[in-house]
Chains A and B, each alone.
Chain A
């Protein structure tokens, strides 16, 4: 089973981002997804910078993928998308149907692309169609349960790499509105790039003080950290190909190590979870995997 580092969902200063990926070159991740997927106003790194990181990581033996932006609004968003699709070297994760169109239309359709978690692939007919169009891997929507993923794969009737969201705050929603700018009474167009100050996003609590969500610009995440460390025996039994670990403000490398060792049977999954707890920015959850509300935490021994 391979480990993938998902795209960085937060907006970190340039030097922190470069340092982070330099570290990741030495970590036991097999696959790295790169690029800005949340907000087109974020430009500490531009596409040529991401390509440079991609080359560095590829040189370190990583399988590198460029991820496309989830919410495409402007002509300039489309221009960036076209450049990603035409990069000529790295595979592309399509995160909206515009990306799928650009990858699969025209004189020289791209084969060997990745169907991202926001394409809403919930049944084998839809996934089969993407496979026919050249997708060789799909990332299940985080809200899908173990049972739903297994049934879909069985129904597909052919082999296709399956990746699941295995660790990180859940990306739950996207909006035209920026909730970080709103918090500071700023407009999105003049947001002062406040996201740079929050390596893990801004916590949103209920009026009883319970952590509930995380504001990350136009993206809303869970407050709790979805993690499938304790569920690894089931994940392995199901033959899931790739586990996605979403970068967090701190300790990502240690989380990756825990997953690697637990997957390889070097530590029991429950011990891995126990070791991970102090490294998480909030409480763990795994409800979606169990077909329950995502916020819930099941420990299955």
Chain B
């Protein structure tokens, strides 16, 4: 069992204002990325240059919070130096940890910066303790972020069989595919989360009002069509409506967010050490509201001797920040599978 005091709340920072907001609203850690393909939220207008990073690290460290740097895409032969350079910058800026996926890059970080704390990214697709222990044995990783595929009992099994701290996703946009094992975006656009740090990137998106309704396309492929009055969502490839055997429906996943707030006591009981909030691409307002709710919930779990109870106002606030205004327990709920 992890006491709530030991559960770190890890919040997204796509910008300096979002970082400050997360810290002000109770994040224990913020995670962020550089302005390039070295991280899995490589979107224009997002992320940190050196100036913003310096100020952000100071702001968090002055208040006793940690800063984690996501370097969780896979470097190729011709851009290898950009990724190792990013590891060097992370060390120079005094990051509390770097979140990596590529074993080669981990070997580099371990060799050149032996004191730099390493976390295994969700993009590493490690779903078993054997997989996680591989990274521990070779690179001494301190923490692993689990892909959103395991049940609670399976998470418990992982924790019981590894010395590595386990972090899970608590809230936010839901990848229905195993992270690090999805090339759907590459198939449609040539750009993938693994190699380019972006899924369904904006420059390949087309919105088009037609007589049949608003059509959204990715790389020319029709992802969805919306009737008048329907709210047209961003054409994330796996969240479109498609035709399977003459039936048109969300064949892969509805636009929805993961929300595991009601499982918080169980996550603590099985020994989860950190809860990650998704959403570096979201606004500081999102970061403020979601951070505040999760801070309150973790504090209640710790301080209130009564059995944990989810405040309806919390769910309300989270639902307002959910994709499609709806949420799911994802793989923690067997029928979802």
Contact = CB atoms under 8 A, between A and B. Distances in A.
A179 B178 CA distance: 14
A73 B134 contact: no
Given A123-B102, A173-B177, A293 B188 contact: yes
A151 B76 contact: yes
Contacts of B138: 129
A255 interface: no
Given A142-B183, A295-B187, A295-B188, A72 B102 contact: no
Nearest to A182: B251
A42 interface: no
A104 to B, nearest CB: 8
B248 A207 contact: yes
Interface string B192-228: 1011000000000000000000000001011111000
B120 to A, nearest CB: 9
B99 to A, nearest CB: 15
A78 to B, nearest CB: 6
Given A173-B182, A287-B190, A151 B78 contact: yes
A293 B102 contact: no
Contact of B194 (A74, A120, A206, A215): A120
Given A97-B126, A120-B102, A122-B102, A206 B221 contact: yes
B306 interface: no
A209 interface: yes
Contact of A129 (B74, B107, B194): B107
A184 B54 CA distance: 53
Interface size class of B (residues with CB under 8 A): 35 or more
Interface string A196-239: 00000011111111101101000010100000000000000000
A105 B134 CA distance: 8
B127 interface: yes
A102 interface: yes
Contacts of A205: 242-244
Interface string B130-152: 11011101100000000011110
Interface stretch (B265-273, B291-299, B329-337): B329-337
Interface residues of A, number: 73
Interface in B218-249: 219, 221-225, 238, 241-245, 247-248
Contacts of A181: 337
A175 B178 contact: yes
Interface string A118-142: 1010111111111000000000011
B335 A187 contact: yes
Interface in B86-109: 101-105, 107-108
A207 B184 contact: no
B128 interface: yes
B176 interface: yes
A78 B150 CA distance: 14
A203 B151 CA distance: 29
Given A96-B127, A101-B134, A120-B74, A70 B181 contact: yes
B76 A143 contact: no
Interface string B320-336: 00000000001100111
Contact of B331 (A173, A176, A292, A295): A176
Q: Which of B238, B243, B334 has the most CB of A within 10 A?
A: B243
A297 to B, nearest CB: 13
Contacts of A101: 130-131, 133-134, 137
B131 A72 contact: yes
B252 interface: yes
A189 B336 CA distance: 10
Nearest to A176: B149
Interface string B101-124: 111110110000000000000001
A155 interface: yes
Given A125-B107, A155-B77, A210-B221, 17 more contacts: A96-B126, A97-B126, A124-B104, A141-B183, A142-B183, A143-B183, A143-B195, A172-B184, A179-B251, A202-B245, A204-B242, A206-B222, A207-B243, A220-B177, A220-B252, A287-B190, A294-B188
Interface of A: 70-75, 77-78, 81, 96-102, 104-105, 118, 120, 122-130, 141-143, 148, 151-152, 154-155, 170, 172-179, 181-183, 187-189, 202-210, 212-213, 215, 220, 222, 287-288, 291-295
Q: Which 4 A-B pairs have the closest CB atoms?
A: A125-B104, A126-B104, A176-B149, A98-B130
